[in-house]
Structures are given as C-alpha cells and as structure tokens.
C-alpha cells in the first residue's frame, strides 16, 4: 500500500489541484494527505466533485478554520472509516475514532488485523501549537499490540 503526503500551502488554484490529482493517480496511492489546503467549503465541494469523484475525500478543519487538511483514499485499496470530530466530556479538545485494517508481518498473527485508532486534537497550554495525539490498538493480534504517541 502506498501512502503520500504533501504540504501544498494552498489548494485553491487549478494547477495545484491538477498536480494533486496527478500525484494520487499516477503514483497509484492508496491514501494521500494534503496539508495546509486553505480551501473554502465551496472550493472543497468543487474539488471533491470535479477531481476526486471516484475516491473517498474528507476535509478536516483544524482550530483557526484555515489550517485545513484534505484526505483522499481509494476504497478498493484501503478499508478506512473515519469518525466525526466531536468534543468530549473526558478530554480537552476534539476527538474521533478511526478504524482500518493493517498488514501484520509477525508469524504469530493473521496476515492483516483490524485496528482502532483514537485521535485527539487540542491547543497547547500556551496556545502556540496544535497538539495531535493518537492511540492505536490492533484487535486480532494474540500477543497484543498497543502503540501510543504523546507530546510531552
């Protein structure tokens, strides 16, 4: 599975949109994350319907409304389900759940496994950074798998 990312610094121009479309299709990517798109809601809907109508597309709007992330994936290559961002009584910021299948290369586990990932985004205490926290759990691995990334 091929995954790509691009910090585009603005995706409102047709030439950049065509470049993203070409990268995704020519490199046969399964997933592409495009950072700093700065797309308006209308621009996102137009891009989704004109450039990526055969793929799954989701836009994430982070904190200030301008730091937008575009996620494009091919349902034929990736089994990915993204939950909606929402506030939580338990945690500060916003949270969501993501589920997908991942390859497992250990002889003790099946060829692939179901994974649940919990994500949280919040402003740092001094309001200078956006903090993204993720916790993953592989479900079909007999010896267990737990991976956590935290910013301290």
d(CA 31, CA 36): 17
Whether the pTM exceeds 0.85: the reply is no
Q: Identify whether residues 88 and 115 lie together within a single domain.
A: yes
Q: Identify whether residues 8 and 54 lie together within a single domain.
A: yes
Domain span including residue 119: 79-152
Report residue 58 CA to chain centroid gap: 8
Domain endpoint, select from 41, 59, 75? 75
Length of the chain: 152
Number of structural domains found in the chain = 2
Selected residue with higher pLDDT from 102 and 31: 31
d(CA 16, CA 27): 16
d(CA 133, CA 145): 17
Only one residue has tokens 């003790």, namely 108
Q: What is the CATH number of the domain that holds 55?
A: 3.30.110
Q: Identify whether residues 104 and 145 lie together within a single domain.
A: yes
When pLDDT is cut at 50, 70 and 90, the band that residue 75 belongs to is confident
Q: Identify whether residues 60 and 98 lie together within a single domain.
A: no
């Amino acid at each position: 599975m091929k995954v790509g990312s691009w910090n585009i610094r603005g995706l409102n121009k047709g030439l950049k949109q065509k470049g993203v479309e070409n990268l995704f299709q020519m490199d046969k990517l399964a997933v592409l994350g495009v950072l700093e798109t700065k797309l308006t809601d209308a621009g996102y809907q137009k891009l989704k319907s004109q450039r990526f109508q055969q793929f799954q597309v989701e836009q994430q709007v982070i904190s200030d409304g301008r730091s937008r992330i575009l996620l494009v994936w091919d349902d034929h290559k990736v089994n990915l389900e993204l939950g909606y961002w929402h506030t939580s009584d338990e945690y500060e910021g916003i949270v969501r759940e993501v589920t997908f299948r991942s390859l497992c290369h250990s002889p003790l586990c099946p060829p692939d496994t179901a994974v649940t990932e919990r994500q949280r985004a919040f402003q740092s205490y001094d309001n200078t950074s956006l903090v993204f926290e993720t916790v993953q759990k592989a479900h079909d691995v007999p010896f267990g798998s737990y991976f956590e990334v935290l910013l301290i």
